[in-house]
Amino acid sequence: MEFFNPHLYDLANAELWVAIGLIAFFVIVAVAGVPKLVGGALDAKAAKIQAELDEAARLRAEAEALLAQIRQEKAEAEAQAAEMLKAAEADARRLEEESKVKLEESLARRQQLAERRIAQAEAQASAEVKAAAADLAARAAEQILAARLAGQKSDPMLDAAIAQLGSRLN
């Protein structure tokens, strides 16, 4: 051990002066409060880091709460969209049924109108045929009667039939 060597304590020894300077430096540093300053700076840095960690934890908690709220709003929006879709489908079915009923009613009315028109046309055609037949029969009867009258002057049965012919045809 060099510490017990008497040559170490000689004032001409450079190592002794280095050791004294080092000890003096440490004493000055300790008296000036550098360890407290360094400790305070380290404590301040640790406090700053802790504050940042706390802020990060708070921001994370807020983000998680916001995420949960967004998920809940998404679920509510999806439920509302599903309800709106069901309501729209129900409205579409209801409108389809109403349209079918209206279409059936319209078709029934048109069919009835067509049947009435056909019946009127049939009645009109029948009346026209009857009128044409009556006119044709009247002309034929007139021609027959004219031919008979040309051969004979008067026939009482023929006169009675002619008189009744007009009332029977109308």
The model's pLDDT over 57-102, given as tens digits with 9 standing for 90+, comes to: 999 999 999 999 999 999 999 999 999 999 999 999 999 999 999 9
Rounded to the nearest 10 degrees, the angle between the axes of helix 14-32 and helix 34-151 is: 60
Distance, in Å, from the CA atom of 133 to the CA atom of 30, rounded to the nearest integer, reads: 148
The pair of structure tokens assigned to 125 is 């055609």
Over 60: is that where the pLDDT of 146 sits? yes
How far is the CA of 112 from the CAs of 16, 101, 123, 132, in angstroms? 134, 16, 16, 29
Picking from 131, 162, 133, the residue whose alpha carbon sits closest to that of residue 145 is 162
Q: Which two tokens stand for residue 69?
A: 């709220």
Tokens (6 digits) for 13: 């020894």
pLDDT band at residue 169, thresholds of 50, 70 and 90? Answer: low
DSSP H or E run through 120: helix 34-151
Where are the domains positioned within the chain? 33-169
**Contact between residue 162 and residue 145 where contact means Cβ atoms under 8 Å apart:** yes
pLDDT at position 80 is: 96
Provide the mean pLDDT of the chain: 86
C-alpha span between 146 and 140 (Å, rounded): 10
Q: Is the pLDDT of residue 123 over 60?
A: yes
